Amino acid sequence: MGTNAANTKTAAVMADADWNAISELIIRKKGAFRGRGADRKRYGDDLVHVTVRTGFSYRDVLEESQIQLRGITPEWLVVRAADKGLVTRDGVPITTGDATLAIQEMRESLVRSLEGKNKATTDGVFDPLEVDGEKVRGVRVYQGPKDGQKNATDAPPGTIYLQGLMVLETIIQPAENGPIPKPASQGPALAKRLLRKQLDIGRYVSYTLRPDEPFILKPGGTVPVTSDGHTIRFKAGEVEKTFGITLDD
- Evaluate whether residue 3 is within a structural domain: no
Listed residue (226, 207, 203, 216) closest to 172, CA to CA: 216
Give the whole-angstrom CA distance, residue 238 versus residue 234: 6
Is the pLDDT assigned to residue 167 strictly greater than 70? Answer: yes
Give the whole-angstrom CA distance, residue 225 versus residue 72: 40
Q: What sign results for the dihedral spanned by CA atoms 13, 152, 167, 228?
A: positive
- Given this model, what pLDDT does residue 125 score? 86
- Evaluate whether residue 232 is within a structural domain: yes
Judged by average pLDDT, the poorest of 42-56, 121-135, 211-225 is 211-225
3-state secondary structure the chain: CCECCCCHHHHHHHHHCCCCCEEEEEEECCCEEECCHHHCEEECCCEEEEEEECCCCHHHHHHHHHHHHHCCCHHHHHHHHHHHCCCCCCCCCCCHHHHHHHHHHHHHHHHHHHCCCCCCCCCCCEEEEEECCEEEEEEEEECCCCCCCCCCCCCCCCCEEEEEEEEEEEEEECCCCCCCCCCCCCHHHHHHHHHHHCCHHHHEEEEEECCCCCEEEECCCCCCEECCCCCCCEECCEECCCCCCCECC
- Evaluate whether residue 226 is within a structural domain: yes
- Evaluate whether residue 50 is within a structural domain: yes
- Evaluate whether residue 245 is within a structural domain: no
Percent of the chain topping pLDDT 70: 83
- Evaluate whether residue 80 is within a structural domain: yes
Is the pLDDT assigned to residue 236 strictly greater than 60? Answer: no
1 or 167, which is more confident: 167
- Evaluate whether residue 249 is within a structural domain: no
- Evaluate whether residue 2 is within a structural domain: no
CB 138 within 8 A of CB 56: yes
Q: What are the CA-CA distances from residue 84 to residues 6, 87, 93 (Å)?
A: 44, 9, 10
What are the tens digits of pLDDT across the range 138-152?
889 998 876 655 655
- For 51, the domain range is 8-239
- Given this model, what pLDDT does residue 111 score? 95
Q: What number is the average pLDDT over the span 117-136?
A: 80
- Given this model, what pLDDT does residue 160 score? 92
- Given this model, what pLDDT does residue 245 score? 35
Q: What number is the average pLDDT over the span 80-89?
A: 93
Is the pLDDT assigned to residue 241 strictly greater than 90? Answer: no
Burial class (CB in 10 A: 0-12, 13-18, 19+), 38: exposed
Is the pLDDT assigned to residue 104 strictly greater than 60? Answer: yes
Q: Work out how many domains the chain is built from and give that number.
A: 1
* Res. 222 pLDDT band, cuts 50 70 90: low
- Given this model, what pLDDT does residue 147 score? 63
- Given this model, what pLDDT does residue 78 score? 97
Q: Rounded to the nearest 5°, which phi and psi values hold at 216?
A: -125, 125
Give the whole-angstrom CA distance, residue 163 versus residue 56: 9
